[in-house]
């Protein structure tokens, strides 16, 4: 029988174990989030998608363009995804991470190329400190190709997550069409580039916001991000419409697989953006 003791130390978000914070999860002062630099009065853009497919589409596309250029993110409301499905997904995710470690250990892997895996930190082989969080990652599209590789526990996980993924895909495709138009392209532009599975493209015009979350010592936090990215063999480069004599290409082209390899090999999320590796040096 394989001992799970080493795994227990890594799978931390479990209501059955009461591990206290350890030194290996404590970042040095110079690498911690400086709370004094956070603006609590910042107003982020909220995009109401209710009329996205109606006569006010141009107005909403312009709002999305402005948010992408000035903020790098936006919140959406009236997006059409079922409230019931979203609540069910959050509930089944909570149930998954509250299962005993014995029920999750089979999914633990430090192999960065493993399709379905549970892990802590982005790359535990790169040394400490680690991040105080656990991830469950699995592909969602095409659903029929991947659903049988998803966790079998909790019993309703595949059913609930499957419904959630279907609704999210509809929403993602609507957003991609709107963002494509915000780039001055045809609605199907980004979806065609991305390929069948899983923004350089804007040539730096659209921002990418840095995301950080602060650990709460009393209450667990669960988020369910959905990443819609290109297939690994997709060639990513600034869109032709974004490049001219006044706006030269800021990034070199690359296959998405190269980007992901750089991302997963990076120790944590501190320091320069991964995209800095693909910038073109411009002579003064």
pLDDT averaged per 10 residues, the chain (length 284): 51 51 74 72 87 93 94 92 96 93 84 81 63 85 93 96 96 94 89 67 76 71 86 83 85 87 65 76 66
**The predicted structure's pLDDT at residue 164:** 97
Closest CA to 47 of 142, 180, 228, 179: 179
pTM, to two decimals: 0.81
Give the burial string for 198-220 (b: 16+ CB within 10 Å, else e): bbbbbbbbbeeeeeeeeeeeeee
**The predicted structure's pLDDT at residue 50:** 93
**The predicted structure's pLDDT at residue 161:** 97
Closest CA to 246 of 277, 203, 186: 203
CA distance 208 to 194: 18
**The predicted structure's pLDDT at residue 122:** 60
**What residues contact 10, with CB distance under 8 A and at least 6 apart?**
108, 119, 120, 124, 134
Contact at 8 Å (CB) between 142 and 165? no
Tokens for 138? Answer: 């699995």
CA distance 184 to 241: 8
**The predicted structure's pLDDT at residue 190:** 85
């Amino acid at each position: 029988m394989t001992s799970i003791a080493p795994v227990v130390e890594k799978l931390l978000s479990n209501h059955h174990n009461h591990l206290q914070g350890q030194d290996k999860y404590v970042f040095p002062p110079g690498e911690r989030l400086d709370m004094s630099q956070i603006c609590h009065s910042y107003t982020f853009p909220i995009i109401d998608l209710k009329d996205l497919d109606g006569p006010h589409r141009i107005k909403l596309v312009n709002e999305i363009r402005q948010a992408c250029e000035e903020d790098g993110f936006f919140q959406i409301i009236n997006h059409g995804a079922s409230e019931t499905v979203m609540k069910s997904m959050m509930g089944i995710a909570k149930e998954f991470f509250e299962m005993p470690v014995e029920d999750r250990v089979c999914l633990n892997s430090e192999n960065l190329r493993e399709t379905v895996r549970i892990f802590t930190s982005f790359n535990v082989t790169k040394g400490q400190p680690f991040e105080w969080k656990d991830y469950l990652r699995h592909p969602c599209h095409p659903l029929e190709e991947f659903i049988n590789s998803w966790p079998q526990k909790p019993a309703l996980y595949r059913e609930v997550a499957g419904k959630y993924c279907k609704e999210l895909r509809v929403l993602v495709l609507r957003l991609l069409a709107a963002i494509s138009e915000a780039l001055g392209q045809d609605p199907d532009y980004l979806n065609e580039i991305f390929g069948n599975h899983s923004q350089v493209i804007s040539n730096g015009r659209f921002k990418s916001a840095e995301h950080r979350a602060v650990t709460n010592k009393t209450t667990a936090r669960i988020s369910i991000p959905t990443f819609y990215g290109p297939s690994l063999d997709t060639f990513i480069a600034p869109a032709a419409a974004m490049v001219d004599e006044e706006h030269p290409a800021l990034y070199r082209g690359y296959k998405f697989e190269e980007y992901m390899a750089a991302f997963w090999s990076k120790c944590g999320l501190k320091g320069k953006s991964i995209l800095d590796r693909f910038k073109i040096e411009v002579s003064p």
